[in-house]
Amino acid sequence: MSAVREAVLAYVALGANLGNAVAMVRDSIDAIARLAQVELLSGSSLYRTAPIDSSGPDYVNAVVCLRTTRTAYDLLAGLQLLEDAAMRARPYRNAPRTLDLDLLLFGDARIDSATLAVPHPRMNARAFVLVPLAEIAPGLVDVAQLRRVSDQGCERLP
C-alpha cells in the first residue's frame, strides 16, 4: 500500500519574451493546470517587464498558485517538460526564451541542491516575480519588498 502525500501550495513564475509571449504564458498556465497531481488555484494578471541582466524584447510574466501532491522535484520535472515542449533553449545564462517556469515556493520547504533551490534565490530581487505574487498572495510579499524593486518597470497588461 502506498502512502498518500499531503497536498502543499506551490507558486510558479512564468515568463516568455520570444514569439507570441502572451499566448505562450496563457497556454502554459493551462498546461500547468493539466499536470497530474496539480490543481491550479489562482493566477495573476499578465505583466510586461524589461529584461533584467539580459537582452531581447520585453517579457510577459505571471505567477500561479498550485495545490499539488507531487514532490518539489517531480513538479520541477513536469515544469521542465513544459519548457522543453515550448522549445526552450538555454544557450547562455539569462538568454531570451520562449518559456521560463520557475518554482518559487513549495509549501514551507527549504531546498538547496544542485538542481533545485526553494525558495527561489532571486525572487525577492525581481519585480516580475514580486508584483504578480503580491496580486495572488498578498501575505507573502510586504510593502518593503515591493519598494526595493519599484525601479524595475512592471506593467500590468490589459
For the stretch 95-111, pLDDT in tens is: 668 899 999 999 999 99
Q: Does residue 88 or residue 134 have the better pLDDT?
A: 134
104 in a structural domain: yes
Q: What is the pLDDT of residue 87?
A: 78
Q: What is the mean pLDDT of the chain?
A: 92
- Neighbour count for residue 53 (Cβ, 10 Å): 7
Q: Does residue 54 or residue 69 have the better pLDDT?
A: 69
User: Sorting pLDDT into bands at 50, 70 and 90, what band is 6?
Assistant: very high
158 in a structural domain: no
1 in a structural domain: no
Q: What is the pLDDT of residue 2?
A: 56
Q: What is the pLDDT of residue 3?
A: 63
Query: Distance between CA 7 and CA 10 in Å, rounded?
Result: 10
Q: Which residues are catalytic?
A: 88, 97, 100, 102
147 in a structural domain: yes
123 in a structural domain: yes
132 in a structural domain: yes
User: Sorting pLDDT into bands at 50, 70 and 90, what band is 89?
Assistant: low
Of 124, 157, 115, whose CA–CA distance to 13 is shortest?
124
Q: How many domains does the chain have?
A: 1
Domain span at 111:
8-153
CATH number of residue 89's parent domain: 3.30.70.560
- What value, to the nearest 5°, has the Cα angle with vertex 132 and ends 126 and 138? 105
46 in a structural domain: yes
pLDDT of residue 91 exceeding 70, the answer is no
Q: What is the pLDDT of residue 44?
A: 98
Cell numbers given for 153: 518597470
Q: What is the pLDDT of residue 115?
A: 94
38 in a structural domain: yes
User: What pTM was computed for the model?
Assistant: 0.93
